[in-house]
A and B are shown apart, each in its own frame.
Chain A
Amino acid sequence: MRPSAGFTDEARENLAALEQGVLALEAPDGTGEGEHAELVAALFRAAHNLKGMAAMEELDELATVAHRMETVLDHHRHGGGRPDAATVDVLLAACDLVGALIDAADADAAAPSSEAILARLDATIAAQSGSPDRSAPGPSAPGPSAPSSAGGSDDPWPDGAAGGIRVVLDAAARLPKARAMVVIRRVGTVAEVLATIPDPDGLATGDRRDLTVVVAGCDDPDGLAAAVAGLPDVAEATWVTPPTPAPAPDGPAAPPALPATDHVVAPTTTIRVDVDRLDELSDAVGELVVNRNRLAQEVARTGDLELATALRRVNRTLADLQLSVMRVRLVSLESTVERARRLTRDVARDLGKEVHLEVEGAETEVDRSIVDEVVTPLVHLLRNAIDHGLEDPDTRRAAGKPPAGRLGLRAYHQGSQVVVEVSDDGAGIDVDRVAAKAERLGLLRPGDRPTRDEVVQLMFTPGFSTREEVSAVSGRGVGLDVVRSQVSALGGDIDVVTRAGEGTTFRLRLPLSLAVIEALLVQVADQTWAVPLDAAVETARLGHLVGGVGAAPRAARHRGALVAAIDGRRTLAGAPPTDGTEHHVAVLFDDLGTRFALVVDDLLGSREIVVKPPPARLAGLDHLAGVTVLPDGSVGGIADLPVLARRWRAENPRSAGIVGAGDREPPAGAAGLAAALPAGLRRAADALGSLVGAPVDLSSSRWESAGAGAVLLAVPLHGDLAGEVGLAVSGHAVVLRVQGVDERWHADAVVEWANVLASQFAVGVSDALSGDVRAGLPEVVAEGSGRPGDDGRSAFAATLRAGPAVVRIHARLDAPATPR
């Protein structure tokens, strides 16, 4: 038999409170005795509530387990001290069983066996009291702490009564007694319940639908009444005070008058709404947006002013409606965080590691659909962090770290996105090991010299993870490609910041809502595609594209820099490649530190679109993040930009000769910024190679002292550019130095090149900067400028603007005074 409507949600709420509280019992930071007592009391109430609810639904197995948990907790509630780790284990195992029993009841499926857990609970109870508690409540037997009834309605109020909540249930309430018990439990969470008038059993048999729950005291009667009024089937809830007995000196006490009503509270303040109904509402608003867009097109075509005015009003109302619907769908990440706490504890214990989970921003709200979908990738990342990121206690001690690893889970809003970070203070990703494995898997060729960032990105490659790796390391984990594809499917992205010996941070950027987004519509061959506006950095008109003859373009020059070019005609529309000699428009976006240009035929403008899932998982169309119905009724695809970027990387693997600087750490003592400099230098060197038409080999680069506490990354140049390019670092001051004997370092070209090198250098540094510098900043924009100096040298400045913070890098390009 399925439980009544609302039971499952309420039972899960109690279970969540129970699980969260049990985990808090062994929190490392500890609690005071008073707090501990409150915590145990709250846990007891949650178990008691579960028991009562289960009993009312005739879920005997669940009621029995909850009762045993209640008994275990009662021992600690009455001077039993703090529960030890074994007791916490048993309680958590019991929570798991309760969850499974609730699921089974909800699905009307066979309940899992509770025998083993009950035996463990009994053993715990026996250890506590010397004899096991074999009592179990029947459906009609309230738990030990159920309030005694004050009898019939004419019974006097008990001594010490401060007042009570008088409840009138809906006449149509199916299970009035069950509802009454829910009311009693809810009141009991904030006040000591002394009695009920009448006994709840009376509600089950008679026509009566009112009940007064008498309490010893209550700090917030109105709040309590409001809370009760929101319970299912409660038509009215009011705070009442005890009747004043009339003086009757010569006879028996007069029968009590009906409780006096002080306040009438609105019957409901919150309601539960089926998610499907919310989805229907969301769909309806989406259709409204489509129709509004069609209307707007018609208004634009006809120029009807009256219609235009009406349309503006519709727009305002629709905007309010959209916002309201979106807000209704927002839920906090609390439930996800609770799962993370439990997972952290269990995995850490399995692996024999000590882990402190630090949570920040659990209250952050996102669309419910996002919450549902983000759990799996987060669980994978947390497990990976504990499993692979954090060292065991001995290793940590040897490295001068505290034995307990720190695991961070942080969530915050950033613009129209929500960012979720999973960080650890472990060893960081062993880039050499990843590269070696990538070579074994054929992802790198012998002699390939990818940068540190590029090696890290290889971990997201499908097929990178293997069983062999699992057995060699720990036997658990998940492929990051799966994590990334799940995040991409949500319209989000993931990046990684890792530092040797300091730890790793995975940063997930997710949309707040999946229903309606702002998108840029583009024409690609005979198709219309939508690009999420959040992801687009800018649009630009590009000059010649760089690529092989007859092949699709692979790069484009933009603002003096080379960006990766994705041919929309070929990759989105399956049409013949774009002619690279034409001028084209492009949507620029960033992916994992690289700027991409999605080359399209035309920009059709931005508009709100309703995101719908693709009609099916279509072969070869994994770049289809979703679909939308366009104003003309046709269907447009929504481009999955991370997928396009990933494909570009796969089709354009880096060739040899660019590794070295990026993989080497600067000498100890270099400023924090120095750690990010190799990435900047690499980008600058790449740009330099493009400018001069010859690769710049960083493989022989070396770090050396440059005096006055500065260090120099010196890179030899070969061929026509014989000489050396160097990057001197001293604190935040950087000098890009070129020592060579080539006339190309002179004249105007130097300025242009300096601009290019400056901007590329800045972008590289920006991308590699630690989260401390970039955290919470909306975007980082790099600007570069250069000018020839009087002494024949050129100076340039690169500025990284990141919201309120600005990092300035001043550099000087030293050119040889005498040409060859």
Chain B
Amino acid sequence: MSGAGAAGTDDGPDPVVVVRVGPLRIGLPVAATRAVVRPEGITPLRDPSGRSTPGALVGMVAVHGRVAAVVDPRPALGLAPLTAGEDLSGDAAGGDRQQLLVVADPLGRFALLVDEVDGVTPDVDASVRRVEVADLVAGVVAAPEPADPEQGVGP
């Protein structure tokens, strides 16, 4: 996981969207964020094989016609999953203040279930942990397939 610090360019550090997840404040690159919406209309989705991190995959949601996987970032941040043991369905995604931060990454499109979105800031202080989308969704994304498909099959 990326540590705190200011990744950026010659023009200065990249701004981040600061969100609160439990007791943590984390910063995600603004470039990766797409929308902030209320957690409504979530279709529950479970991993029958149990290969994903328990509780991390919550479901799917359509935002502006595009589908995102709803992910609880807490397990990736070392916190207990918000939805552990719950039969999440429909609008029962959490408290009133919770929000979905929709992010896009080469790994896919995700809606992160966060407690609150603080805002955008170019300066991250020590209280904000700077993370990448990949850090938060690693537990729900399948490992890439082997790069070399050149395997033999010879009867």
Contact = CB atoms under 8 A, between A and B. Distances in A.
Interface string A288-308: 001000000000000000000
A676 to B, nearest CB: 20
Nearest to B153: A465
A239 to B, nearest CB: 49
B150 A612 contact: no
Contacts, number: 152
28 contacts: A290-B65, A388-B152, A465-B153, A475-B152, A477-B152, A477-B154, A479-B151, A527-B44, A574-B46, A615-B60, A616-B108, A616-B110, A617-B108, A618-B140, A619-B47, A619-B49, A619-B51, A619-B139, A620-B48, A620-B52, A620-B142, A621-B45, A621-B142, A627-B67, A634-B62, A635-B59, A635-B61, A636-B43
A620 B155 contact: no
B101 interface: no
Contacts of A472: 154
B63 to A, nearest CB: 10
Given A526-B87, A618-B57, A636-B43, A477 B151 contact: yes
Given A479-B149, A526-B89, A633-B62, A433 B140 contact: no
Interface string B71-93: 00000000000000001010000
Contacts of A614: 67, 69, 108
A479 B151 CA distance: 5
A469 B66 CA distance: 44
Contacts of B49: 619-620
Interface string A560-573: 00000000001111
B151 A620 contact: no
A620 B51 contact: yes
The list of the 6 closest CB pairs from A to B, nearest first, reads A616-B108, A470-B152, A574-B46, A620-B47, A620-B51, A465-B151
B151 A635 contact: no
Contacts of B44: 526-527
A616 B152 contact: no
B62 A477 contact: no
A220 B62 CA distance: 54
A714 B116 CA distance: 74
- Counting chain B residues whose Cβ lies within 8 A of the other chain, the interface size class is 35 or more
B136 interface: no
B76 to A, nearest CB: 13
Nearest to A486: B149
B68 interface: yes
B137 to A, nearest CB: 7
Contacts of A615: 60, 67-69, 108-110
Interface in A611-646: 612, 614-622, 627, 629, 633-637
Given A477-B150, A526-B89, A618 B142 contact: yes
A430 B153 CA distance: 11
B1 interface: no
A287 B44 CA distance: 22
Interface string B131-155: 0000001011111110001111111
B154 A571 contact: no
B154 A617 contact: no
A384 interface: yes
Contacts of A430: 155
Contacts of A362: none
A15 interface: no
A289 B140 CA distance: 31
B107 interface: yes
Interface string B5-29: 0000000000000000000000000
Residue in B50, B62, B107, B143 whose Cβ sees the most chain A Cβ within 10 Å = B62
Given A465-B151, A633-B62, A620 B137 contact: no
Contacts of A380: 149
Contact of B50 (A527, A618, A620, A637): A620
A633 B155 CA distance: 49
Contact of A474 (B60, B62, B152): B152
Given A526-B89, A629-B62, A621 B43 contact: no
A478 interface: yes
Contacts of A635: 43, 59-62, 67
A11 B130 CA distance: 47
Contacts of B107: 616-617
Contacts of B153: 384, 388, 459, 464-465, 469, 477-480
